[in-house]
Amino acid sequence: IMARPLLLPLVLLAALGVTSASKSVLVLLQNVNTADKYSKFFGSLRDYGFDVSVKGVKDSTLKLKEYGTWLYDDLVLFAPQTEGFGGKIDRQVILDFVDSGHNVLMALNSDASESMRNLAAEFGIDVDDRGSKVYDHFSHATLNGKEDHTLIAGGNIVDVPVMVGGPYKEPVLFRGIASVIPGDAELATVALGAPSTSYSHAPKQAMLEPPSLMVGSSISLVTAVQARNNARVVVAGSLEMFTDDFFDAVVTVNGVSTHTANWAFTVTLARWAFQDRGVLVASNMRHHLLGSDEQPWGYRVNDDVEFLVDVVEVDGGVPKPFAADDIQLEFIMLNPYIRQPLQHDGNGTFSLRFKVPDVYGVFKYYIDYAHCGYSYIKLTHQVPVRPFKHNEYERFLVCAYPYYASAISIMVGFFALGFFYLYNK
């Protein structure tokens, strides 16, 4: 019974254990000769233990999968303009790659192709029309003395250190295309949001009347998606933000000269995307009656029980105890009868003691932890709660003494009467 809920984390843990030594990353560039532009980014990834192989997007030897085995753990798509892929890669292969738990980092720009746009849409991100750019006439940056209204510097970095690092004092430079995520998106997070004064517009196209632009903070510049199988996808609207130029740039924003945070931001985000950060592994789920270490088949109503689970956070391949006070445990039969946060002991063991409700049925323990930036923890474990057995009820109740008395008195009376009737002649 335990096996199924534990399977996923275990598989993940195994995967991490095996591959954390060197996770292989395939980078597809528009032109393989431009790899130098991103040398610092790739260098940092290599420093973190990634095995980065760079190839051209039209390379005819490309393949992600061989004999049913994925050759890479992560895919980087730095080829926004490409319409198709070389070799044996196509959109469906990339989707299968993600659906089997692997990660994709894709960067676009204003000339992003239709196929890239569709790929982003598959991950739940709508990218703006081809040719459009994000403009901001207020918080743009001046680079090398050239004022550029499309060089956004006032982006709002999401306050999730595990995903993007920080907090950053310097701005993250961005030049590229806007995207939006649906209002009801559950899986997507805006890692870098546009300033409220920005808008997206394609200068070569006629403005619609009335204008229907992507405006302000509804624009997402960099979007992070964590699929339900914990595969991660990051879609950045700007390819340039990963370049050495932007890493090293000194820009003037509103008259203040500053370095950029691009290097730290992009590398941290890439590590997050490649499941090198923010990975939670829950294991060793167990529960028992208070005063017994054995895990029972089920409980009786009103039993006092304890539930425990170990959660570790894996950072750079190293597990360390996770600490949070917002992991909730639910005890559900149709409705949650118990919903309480788990207590942690500092060593990664989360536990809760509670009294089983006075209702019998097939309950299940349920943890659905979806903290932004961390991988999801979803555990279910079924445990039946039975009513009292026929010999477990209380006996000789005080309030029943009148009934006992009446029953005994009738028996005595019957016996006396019978005796009297039979022998009193």
Partner 1 sequence: MRLYAKLAAASKYLALTGICVLAFSVRLFSIVKYESVIHEFDPYFNYRVTQFLTKEGFYEMWNWFDDRTWYPLGRVIGGTVYPGLIFTAGTIYRILHFFHVPIHVQEVCVLTAPLFSAFCALACYGLVSQARSHGAGLLAAFFVAIVPSYISRSVAGSFDNEGVAIFALVNVFYWFVKTVNSGSLADAVVLVASYGYMVMSWGGYSFIINLLPLYCLACIFFGRLNGRLYVAFAPLVALGTAISCSIPVVGFNAVLMSEHFGAFFAFIVLHVALLVSYVRRMLSTKHFVILASMVLTVAIALGALAASVVVAYVAKSPTLGWTGRSMTLLDPTYASRFVPIIASVSEHQPPQWSSYIMDLHMLVMLAPAGILACLHRLTDASLFLVLYGLTAVYFSGVMIRLMLVLAPAVCCLSAVALSDLMYVLCGSMRCWKPRFTFSTANDSATAAGEGGGEGASKAPPTPGAAPSPAAPSTKDAVAPSTPDEPTSVKKKTRSRVPSKAAASAAGSKLYALPLLVCGALLGMILVILGLYVVHCIHASADMYSSPSIVLQSPRRDGGVHVFDDFREAYAWLRHNTHPDAKVASWWDYGYQTTAMANRTVIVDNNTWNTSHIATVGRAMSSSEAKAWSIYRALDVEYVFVVFGGLVGYPSDDINKFLWMVRIGGGVYPEIKEPDYLTPEGDYRVDARGTKTMLNSLMYKLSYYDFADESQLSTGQRGVDRVRGYLIGKLNVKLNYFEEVFTSQHWMMRIYRVRDQPLRDPTSRAGKKGKAANRRG
In the complex, what is the shortest distance from the CB of residue 49 to partner 1, in angstroms, rounded to a whole number? 27
Where would I find the H helices in 190-337? 244-248, 262-273
Q: Give the separation between CA 116 and CA 112, rounded to whole angstroms.
A: 6
Q: Which CB atom, from 99 or from 159, has the smaller least distance to partner 1?
A: 99
Q: Which CB atom, from 197 or from 229, has the smaller least distance to partner 1?
A: 229
Q: Which CB atom, from 184 or from 325, has the smaller least distance to partner 1?
A: 184
Which residues contribute to the site for partner 1 (CB under 8 A)?
1, 4, 95-96, 98-101, 117-118, 121-126, 181-182, 185-188, 225, 227-229, 231, 298, 332-334, 360-364, 382, 384, 386-387, 389-391
Q: What are phi and psi of 283, to 5 degrees?
A: -150, 170
In the complex, what is the shortest distance from the CB of residue 121 to partner 1, in angstroms, rounded to a whole number? 4
3-state secondary structure 197-213: CEEEECCCCCCCCCCCC
Q: Which CB atom, from 318 or from 362, has the smaller least distance to partner 1?
A: 362
Cα three-residue angle 239-77-27, rounded to 5 degrees: 110
In the complex, what is the shortest distance from the CB of residue 391 to partner 1, in angstroms, rounded to a whole number? 8
Q: Give the separation between CA 314 and CA 321, rounded to whole angstroms.
A: 9
Q: Which CB atom, from 179 or from 266, has the smaller least distance to partner 1?
A: 179
Q: Which CB atom, from 308 or from 332, has the smaller least distance to partner 1?
A: 332
Q: Which CB atom, from 295 or from 349, has the smaller least distance to partner 1?
A: 295
In the complex, what is the shortest distance from the CB of residue 364 to partner 1, in angstroms, rounded to a whole number? 7
Q: Quote the distance between the C-alpha of residue 41 and its chain's center.
A: 24
Largest CA distance in the chain: 133
In the complex, what is the shortest distance from the CB of residue 384 to partner 1, in angstroms, rounded to a whole number? 4
Helix%, strand%, coil% for the chain, nearest 5: 25, 35, 40
Tokens 């961005």 locate to 174
In the complex, what is the shortest distance from the CB of residue 287 to partner 1, in angstroms, rounded to a whole number? 16
In the complex, what is the shortest distance from the CB of residue 232 to partner 1, in angstroms, rounded to a whole number? 11
In the complex, what is the shortest distance from the CB of residue 362 to partner 1, in angstroms, rounded to a whole number? 4
Structure letter (DSSP) for residue 33: G
Q: Which CB atom, from 149 or from 386, has the smaller least distance to partner 1?
A: 386
Q: Name 141's Cβ contacts closer than 8 Å, sequence gap at least 6.
A: 148, 151, 152, 153, 171, 173, 251, 252, 253
**How do strand 103-107 and strand 126-127 relate by DSSP bridges?**
unpaired
Q: Cβ(382)–Cβ(287) under 8 Å?
A: no
